[in-house]
Structure 1
Amino acid sequence: MKGLCLNGKVKEALYFHDDVIAKEFQLNQVSYGTLIDGLCKAGETRAAMQVLRNIDGLLVQPNVVMYSTIIYSLCKDKLVIDAFDLYSEMVAMRIFPNVVTYNTLIYGFCIVGQMKQAIDLLNEMLLKNISPNVVTFNTLVDGLCKEGEMKKARKVLAFMIKQGVELNVVTYSFLMDGYFLVKEVNKATFVFNTMVRRGVTSNVHSYTVMINGLCKNKMVDEAVNLFKEMHLKNMAPDIVTYNSLIDGLLKYGRISDAWDLVNEMHNRGQPADVITYNSLLDALCKNHQVDMAITLFTKIKDQGIQPYIYTYTILVDGLCKNGRLKDAQEVYQILLIKGYHLDVRMYTVMINGLCKESLFDKALSLLSKMKDNGCTPNPVTFEILIRALFENDMNDKAVELLRKMIVRDLL
């Protein structure tokens, strides 16, 4: 059973289980734990739940590992209420949760932004004399930082130190990320320097957090210096590091420097991915180099890289904004023929392109098609159309759309 699960053959593992039970053999806790883990890793959480339910009728007792495994799988899918219900069930059955169970639930509440519930669980751990570990604290710090709650993150950090749990590179990286999110660049830099000063070894991820944060805060030269520092330390940047710096360079017009990095990636055996190419396409389009963008787009496909819908949107937007509406419409039609599910961004880009060419009836028609295809227009979609209609003295239609915005509570 373990071999089948490790090789991703969970259905065969289930059949094997059913065959064993049908022949009146018994499986032990380890076997059931293995099967439940295999099912959860294959995304078959409901099937894992069913196995757990079926154990009740057998001689085997469900244990904390089985419950924790399913709780983690539910949390990963953001089914936090279901995960908490399962936790409540295990407690009612006098199966006592451990630090892994609590860490998993805390993680679940953090990823859905329910920080109060996550902190309540930490307090519950303490009341039950279950010692939080570095994973517990890091999960909470990350959750609070992602919500921009830096003051609360610092309080958790202070409590972590009081509990004698050492901060590691992951803790510092989450803090840096949080400070960048709230635009406190100096504090993020201070955290990075403090980490180094305290003898915590920085890694590729911590450098990437710094490089990405500096780029997003218009400090590209500082980001480049950190990138060079990585090389001096013989630290190999990963695809995320490269993409962060390439995007930063492109956004500030340093196209040749960005291309140098793409070449460096290639020379180091780190192929560019669709994210890299999205940044390059966007920069070429914004610099009115649409033909080069089309050539690059063709190259991407020739390399066997599957463009995202966002990749197509960048190209369509670039074509529209550079007076190539006909070409944009051709790309749009190809997407429809191929059965792509177009998102609100793509529709909005096309509507904007039609408005720029004063094709308002077609723009309004596309707005209707958008709704028919189950895609809800957002405030930006309406604003583009309303502004264009007012600017071209089509006031009645503009007011009608404005009313629709008010009805939909989009203003």
Structure 2
Amino acid sequence: MSLFRSRFLSIPSLFMRYHSHSPRPFSHEAVNAVSSFHNMLSMRPAPPITQFNNILGSLVRMNHYPTAVSLSQQLELKGIAPDIATLTILINCFCHLGRMNYAFSVLGKILKRAYQPDTTALTTLMKGLCLNGEIRSAINFHDDVKAKGFQFQVDRVSVTYRFLINELCEVGETGAALQLLRQIEEEHTDVQMYNTIIKSMCEDKCVSDAYDLYNEMLLKRISPDVFTYNTLIYGFCAGGQLRKAVGFFNVMKMENIKPDVSTFDPLIHALCKERKVKQANSVVAAMIKASVEPNVFIYNTLIDGYCLINQMTKARFLSHTMATRGVTPDVHTYNIMISWLCTSNMMDEAMSLFHYMDLKDIKPDAETYSILIEGWLNLPHYMHAINLLAEMCSNGIAYTSKLDAICNDYNFDDEIEKFMRYKETGGDADFLIASHIVLRNPSFKATGFGTYSLDW
């Protein structure tokens, strides 16, 4: 059924329930507008409807939508017929109030009075559907309007299409967004619409489709911007096509499009992932030469790259020298290095770096503790793991599902049995049994250790 008809409500109930929205505080200007409106209502003969519309429009610009609806109702009670402008103002109000059924009822009123719905009313309705999350209805309405030969407002249509395409991509309807783009008159398409769809395609791992859409932009003489190239570089890097990503970077330079951090980040990440840390450093050098300062994420990627090729000394050096460029290491910087030390069973060095964080006033997070606890359990040194778990809980850091999975990978039953035998000879295995309870009892993990400290 056409959306023109399916959304219409009966007119008598049209104004009844808009008061659910909290009223905005009234400014002096709004009070004067309402007062002027009431004064005009009492005049005989009544002023032209255009004067009432001016006041209603001013209230809408002040976001007093319920007040504008109420005053419109008073017009009709006084026998003053609204014109197309009045009804369009009402549509705008109901769209902002989230009352789309009422907005479409006003459209029905326009058609019933044989008015021609103007481009402003139709564009407002389509945007209202988008704002209220009714994306599919917005597309159906768009198709209905075009099929009936109506037009949308020229100066606002591009904004509305951009919004609609963005919403479609946000909910994973990239194909529908592309289909809508094909229906838009060429003069209303712009780089932002293409960028939104290209980004969505790259996120869906459809990089070849994104590349085709980029070529379509060029054919239509829509100039790609830095966001277009950044998105494609990210898409090709994520898809393991580093050579093509570098190609786009070179195109940017030829087109004199200034790169930013988002241009370099995926390139550096992809190079480090492929253990090409030397080349990644060259990209950082090019980045600095282009007056784009590396941020902490760039440095963390490089540090991770050095760790990946077992050059921990260079990773540590970079973590110290990044501060000279005004970038402070964060907890993730240290987590990267601690993780690689733990993976290499260099637990003493990992703990040393862990304590160095405290000297630098960088608080460890759940990830830091998870890495270290897993490292000690791998050796296995259960007592160190339990001490760290106790410290984590006493510091108010939440026990994570990842840490739960780590602990559940280890079977402490053999250790308990061994220490129980040891206790029969006079030893004290209570601490290990307590450790088992801590690691395996969800309620204990949830409440934490309180003020207890396990010093073994």
TM-score bracket, shorter-length normalisation: 0.5 to 0.7
Note if 1:142 corresponds to 2:115.
no
Contact 1:285 1:315 in 2 (8 A): yes
Residue 154 of structure 1 is matched in structure 2 by 178
How far off is 1:86 after superposition?
A: 11
> Residue type matched to 1:88 in 2?
L
How far apart, CA to CA, are the structure 2 residues paired with 1:342 and 1:103?
46
Residue 233 of structure 2 is matched in structure 1 by 211
Note if 1:299 corresponds to 2:321.
yes
CA shift in 2, pair 1:303/1:89, >3 Å: same
How far off is 1:260 after superposition?
A: 1.1
How far off is 1:243 after superposition?
A: 1.5
Residue 276 of structure 1 is matched in structure 2 by 298
How far off is 1:398 after superposition?
A: 8.2
Q: 1:310 aligns with which of 332, 349, 364?
A: 332
Question: Which of 1 and 2 has greater Rg?
Answer: 2
How far apart, CA to CA, are the structure 1 residues paired with 2:316 and 2:173?
43
Note if 1:356 corresponds to 2:378.
yes
How far off is 1:207 after superposition?
A: 0.8
Residue 88 of structure 1 is matched in structure 2 by 97
Residue 341 of structure 2 is matched in structure 1 by 319
Contact 2:366 2:399 in 1 (8 A): yes
How far off is 1:277 after superposition?
A: 0.6
CA shift in 2, pair 1:299/1:237, >3 Å: same
Residue 55 of structure 1 is matched in structure 2 by 27
How far apart, CA to CA, are the structure 2 residues paired with 1:374 and 1:287?
35
CA shift in 2, pair 1:390/1:219, >3 Å: farther
CA shift in 2, pair 1:283/1:144, >3 Å: farther
CA shift in 2, pair 1:180/1:187, >3 Å: same
**TM-score when normalising by structure 2:** 0.60
Contact 1:242 1:261 in 2 (8 A): yes
Note if 1:179 corresponds to 2:179.
no
Contact 2:242 2:270 in 1 (8 A): yes
Contact 1:148 1:181 in 2 (8 A): no
1:348-388 residue CA offsets vs partner (Å, 9 max, x unmatched): 22322332332323324434554554544443322222224
Contact 2:307 2:337 in 1 (8 A): yes
How far off is 1:200 after superposition?
A: 1.1
Counterparts of 1:11-410 in structure 2 under 5 Å?
52-55=24-27, 58-59=31-32, 63-67=59-63, 87-88=96-97, 106=130, 116-119=133-136, 131=153, 133-158=157-182, 161-162=183-184, 166-335=188-357, 340=362, 342-371=364-393, 373-389=395-411, 404=442
How far apart, CA to CA, are the structure 2 residues paired with 1:391 and 1:214?
49
How far apart, CA to CA, are the structure 2 residues paired with 1:52 and 1:182?
42
CA shift in 2, pair 1:373/1:399, >3 Å: closer
How far off is 1:292 after superposition?
A: 0.6
CA shift in 2, pair 1:398/1:298, >3 Å: same
How far apart, CA to CA, are the structure 2 residues paired with 1:85 and 1:354?
62
How far apart, CA to CA, are the structure 1 residues paired with 2:27 and 2:220?
50
How far apart, CA to CA, are the structure 2 residues paired with 1:356 and 1:204?
46
How far off is 1:50 after superposition?
A: 11
How far apart, CA to CA, are the structure 1 residues paired with 2:307 and 2:176?
42
CA shift in 2, pair 1:87/1:188, >3 Å: same
CA shift in 2, pair 1:322/1:301, >3 Å: farther
**Structure 2 residues not aligned, in runs of 5+:** 1-20, 35-57, 65-92, 107-119, 418-432, 447-456
CA shift in 2, pair 1:333/1:154, >3 Å: same
How far apart, CA to CA, are the structure 2 residues paired with 1:103 and 1:295?
54
> Residue type matched to 1:154 in 2?
L
- SS in structure 2 opposite 1:366? helix
How far apart, CA to CA, are the structure 1 residues paired with 2:94 and 2:412?
53
Higher relative contact order (CA 8 A, sep 6+): 2
RMSD: 4.4
Contact 1:176 1:209 in 2 (8 A): yes
- SS in structure 2 opposite 1:180? helix
CA shift in 2, pair 1:245/1:53, >3 Å: same
| Matched length | 333
1:265-318 residue CA offsets vs partner (Å, 9 max, x unmatched): 222322222121111011111211111111000011233212333223223223
Of 54-63 and 347-356, deviating more is: 54-63
Residue 78 of structure 1 is matched in structure 2 by none
How far apart, CA to CA, are the structure 1 residues paired with 2:277 and 2:166?
34
Contact 2:158 2:189 in 1 (8 A): yes
CA shift in 2, pair 1:90/1:225, >3 Å: same
Contact 2:275 2:308 in 1 (8 A): no
- The sequence identity of aligned pairs, in percent, is 21
> Residue type matched to 1:214 in 2?
F
